[in-house]
Amino acid sequence: MEIVNILQEGVWRQAATEYYGEKTKAQQNGKVGPQGVQSFLNRIIDQRLMEYDWRGSQGRFKKDDAWARITFRHQMSLEADILDALYEQKRQGAGQTAIIAAGNDFLRVISPNDWRALCSYEKLKAACERLEGCLDFPLFLGLLEPFSDLPKEVAALVNAPRPRGLTIPRRDGRMSQNR
């Protein structure tokens, strides 16, 4: 529950706002800029959890007897995340294990070009349901959602279509390719 509370404390707002700043700066220079918010979200989640004495990085964190995986990885890694939780529970003595993933709707916003290929809460839940009776340890499944309200201009950009390979006009009238 501590991680849930931490993630609700403006993490999404900060990630989206930083994405907005970098994206608009790039566009002002005739570039497309970052397509997804995922890298901003990953960095801020890492920072926030460390502020609350969670140890780890890249989506894997420990504190006391709790272990959590916050995943935005490719869906082919889903079973590996479950095995990591099993290992932490059985071999490392974690009393509580959790895997937290964004739902499909949120993934569409976080990583619009890749969301179908990423681990989602729905895919995680389905995998655990297939393993019912096989998983003999408590595993909390968490749904990561955008808890924070965003400023109007940030929400407009974050929710706007971001097609891959988009070209945009530069100030000099030439076209700039996705960089």
Domain residue limits, the chain: 2-177
Provide the residue type at 123 as one letter: K
Closest by CA position to 23, among listed 136, 144, 156, 116: 156
Tell me the pLDDT tens digit for each residue of 50-65.
Answer: 999 999 988 999 999 9
Neighbours of 17 (CB within 10 A): 18
pLDDT recorded at residue 51: 94
The whole-number average pLDDT for the span 70-76 is 87
- Give the model's confidence band at 178: pLDDT under 50 very low, under 70 low, under 90 confident, else very high: very low
Q: What letter does residue 75 receive in the DSSP assignment?
A: G
Q: What letter does residue 114 receive in the DSSP assignment?
A: T
CATH domain 2-177 topology? Restriction Endonuclease (3.40.91)
Question: Residues, the chain, total?
Answer: 179
Q: What is the pTM of this model?
A: 0.85
Provide the residue type at 47 as one letter: Q
- How far is C-alpha 103 from the chain's CA centre? 10
- Give the model's confidence band at 165: pLDDT under 50 very low, under 70 low, under 90 confident, else very high: low
pLDDT recorded at residue 35: 87
Q: Residue 8 corresponds to which tokens in the numbers above?
A: 């609700």
Q: How far is 137 from 79, CA to CA, in rounded Å?
A: 15
Is 36's pLDDT higher than 60?
yes
